């Protein structure tokens, strides 16, 4: 058993001694105090995990000590020990933050069970708080990369929305622009951060199942409903529900969603009871909803209900100043994940990354960096580590035969050869062997031309 520390506070020496011996046998580390003042002194010097606190104490009584303990450290578990039948005091202690209470004279076996459960509950609360802290650290606004004007505007909007009472937010942008990250930032920067963040992809779930997924169902509501199931609206109560790909939701489900948004009431499939929910709805889509309304595939009333707070995420090609910071961010991330030590990106690779059009946006950039980190072992990501589509589709890298045009006045063939040697060296970061391969030359023939045109002394 782990050495949990317990402080026993009681003015009767025999009770303190008896409890100390019993708890030590169970594997606990035990301190004792005969008064509230002594208990608070010990607690400040070496805080315990749990306090067994008698209500009747000389000087400060147990309730006063409890109040001071909670001021010092709210996480310390306090179990009150009261005279038999003094229920009113026990209830008051619970309201003040006591975890539980025991009546004197108490049964030692009962006490052992109460202490064990209290410590388990405390450990669970600490674990939940830790995980929530990690989620906030991971998805908070400080993790969103964006120095461009476009993204600074988005981040300012995210901050305002997170701190507001806005109940519906609509995020629009191309695939891969980071819509779910924005949704999570809104949640974890808000007062709802300690409550659930639930998400569903509306395009990935058939309409018949989506209703059950969102609203829940009662046992026997349909053939496979073997048990009652709460829907995501109920599970996200107090927190945030992220509806991804909302533009792909079928019209029938759109009507049901609209009713929930208007009344904040859900009724499970097959149920007859209305359930009140307090949920912030963050929706996202890569579709043009205005066009979808014209095509009659998206309800105008739902659109105007969803886009109370609209946020538009620009494509990566419109925020090129963010490409290299994002690249560095992903390099650091995958270095940690795969135990690599890539220092950065070469100047030539940077040039191609910045000039590429990024049809897959941030997701594409992340995948490319991940692939390079996994497959390559050099300290710097070079142009040759990038996929062919980046090199071939980027204007700056177009050096193939189709880009050569003979000027009307003609040209010296040696000028062309000199320029090809120069470009091959530039693209290969000065690596002569790689540059030679790009021109289908042997290394000796390539070095001869380097010397001929003054690239090698």
Residue 297 lies in a domain: yes
pLDDT at 400: 42
pLDDT at 397: 41
pLDDT tens track for 235-246: 999 999 999 999
CA 167 to CA 144: how far, in whole Å?
A: 22
Query: What is the bridge-based pairing of β-strands 380-381 and 5-9?
Result: unpaired
Mean per-residue pLDDT over the chain, rounded? 89
Helix H or strand E segment including 5? strand 5-9
Domain count, the chain: 4
Q: Could you tell me the CATH number of the domain that includes residue 10? A: 3.40.50.2300
The residue ranking higher by pLDDT, 105 or 291, is: 291
Three-class DSSP category at 82: strand
pLDDT at 398: 41
The residues that bridge with 204 in the sheet, in sequence order, are: none
Across 287-312, average pLDDT: 95
Residue 139 lies in a domain: no
Of the three residues 281, 314, 347, the one that is the final residue of a domain is 314
pLDDT at 344: 93
Residue 134, pLDDT > 80, answer no
**Shared domain check, 353 and 376:** yes
**Shared domain check, 214 and 171:** yes
Of the three residues 132, 154, 179, the one that is the final residue of a domain is 132
**Shared domain check, 62 and 168:** no
408 sits in the region (left: phi over 0; alpha: psi -120 to 50; else beta) called: alpha
In the block, which residue shows the tokens 């039948």? 85
Across 1-29, average pLDDT: 90
pLDDT tens track for 328-365: 999 999 999 999 999 999 988 898 999 899 999 999 99
CA 427 to CA 451: how far, in whole Å?
A: 19
CA 126 to CA 54: how far, in whole Å?
A: 26
Q: Could you tell me the CATH number of the domain that includes residue 367? A: 1.10.8.60
In the block, which residue shows the tokens 């071939």? 392
Across 67-76, average pLDDT: 92
Q: Could you tell me the CATH number of the domain that includes residue 424? A: 1.10.10
**Shared domain check, 124 and 68:** yes
pTM for this prediction: 0.67
pLDDT at 402: 40
Structural domain that includes position 372: 317-396
**Shared domain check, 297 and 200:** yes
CA of 63: how far to CAs of 38, 181, 427, in Å?
15, 46, 76
Across 55-59, average pLDDT: 90
Across 245-268, average pLDDT: 94
Q: Which of 53-57, 82-86, 149-153, 332-336 has the lowest mean pLDDT?
A: 82-86
Q: Could you tell me the CATH number of the domain that includes residue 289? A: 3.40.50.300
CA 391 to CA 398: how far, in whole Å?
A: 8
CA 203 to CA 210: how far, in whole Å?
A: 9
pLDDT tens track for 178-198: 999 999 999 999 999 989 999
The secondary structure of residue 386, as a DSSP letter, is S
**Shared domain check, 412 and 441:** yes
pLDDT at 384: 84
Residue 56 lies in a domain: yes
Q: What percent of the chain has pLDDT over 90?
A: 64
pLDDT at 455: 82
Q: Which of 22-36, 52-66, 431-445 has the lowest mean pLDDT?
A: 431-445
**Shared domain check, 310 and 334:** no
**Shared domain check, 31 and 19:** yes
pLDDT tens track for 383-399: 888 888 887 666 444 44
Residue 401, pLDDT > 50, answer no
pLDDT at 85: 61
pLDDT at 125: 82
Residue 123 lies in a domain: yes
Q: Which of 29-38, 71-80, 141-150, 294-303 has the lowest mean pLDDT?
A: 141-150
**Shared domain check, 339 and 237:** no
pLDDT at 86: 67
CA 277 to CA 123: how far, in whole Å?
A: 29
């Amino acid at each position: 058993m782990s050495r949990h520390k317990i402080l026993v506070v009681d003015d009767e020496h025999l009770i303190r001694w008896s409890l100390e011996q019993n708890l030590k046998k169970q594997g606990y580390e035990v301190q004792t105090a005969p008064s509230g003042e002594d208990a608070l002194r010990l607690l400040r010097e070496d805080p315990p995990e749990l306090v067994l606190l008698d209500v009747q104490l000389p000087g400060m009584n147990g309730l006063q000590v409890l109040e001071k303990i909670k001021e010092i450290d709210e996480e310390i578990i306090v179990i009150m020990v009261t005279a038999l039948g003094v229920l009113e005091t026990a209830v008051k202690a619970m309201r003040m933050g006591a975890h539980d209470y025991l009546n004197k004279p108490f049964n030692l076996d009962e006490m052992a069970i109460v202490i064990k459960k209290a410590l388990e509950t405390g450990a669970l609360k600490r674990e939940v708080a830790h995980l929530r802290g990690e989620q906030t650290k991971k998805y908070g606004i400080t993790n969103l990369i964006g120095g461009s004007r476009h993204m600074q505007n988005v981040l300012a909007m995210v901050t305002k929305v997170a701190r507001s009472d806005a109940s519906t937010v609509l995020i629009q942008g191309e695939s891969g622009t980071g819509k779910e990250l924005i949704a999570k930032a809104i949640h974890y920067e808000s007062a709802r951060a300690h409550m659930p963040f639930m998400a569903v992809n509306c395009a990935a779930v058939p309409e018949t199942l989506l209703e059950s997924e969102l609203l829940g169902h009662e046992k026997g509501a349909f053939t496979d409903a073997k048990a009652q199931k709460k829907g995501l609206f109920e599970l996200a109560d107090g927190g945030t529900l992220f509806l991804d790909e909302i533009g792909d939701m079928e019209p029938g489900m759109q009507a049901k969603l609209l009713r929930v948004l208007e009344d904040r009431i859900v009724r499970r499939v097959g149920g007859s009871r209305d359930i009140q929910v307090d949920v912030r709805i963050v929706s996202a889509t890569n579709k043009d909803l205005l066009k979808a309304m014209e095509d009659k595939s998206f309800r105008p009333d739902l659109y105007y209900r969803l886009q109370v707070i609209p946020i538009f995420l620009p494509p990566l090609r419109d925020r090129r100043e963010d490409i290299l910071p994002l690249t560095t961010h992903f390099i650091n991330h995958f270095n940690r994940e795969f135990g690599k030590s890539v220092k950065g990106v070469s100047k030539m690779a940077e040039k191609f990354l910045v000039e590429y059009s990024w049809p897959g946006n941030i997701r594409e950039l992340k995948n490319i960096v991940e692939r390079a980190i996994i497959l390559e072992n050099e300290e710097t990501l070079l142009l040759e580590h990038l996929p062919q589509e980046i090199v071939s589709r980027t204007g700056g890298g177009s050096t193939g035969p189709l880009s050569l045009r003979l000027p009307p006045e003609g040209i010296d063939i040696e000028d062309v050869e000199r320029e090809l040697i120069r470009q091959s060296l530039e693209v290969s970061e000065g690596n002569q062997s790689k540059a030679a391969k790009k021109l289908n030359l042997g290394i000796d023939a390539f070095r001869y031309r380097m010397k001929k045109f003054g690239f090698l002394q």
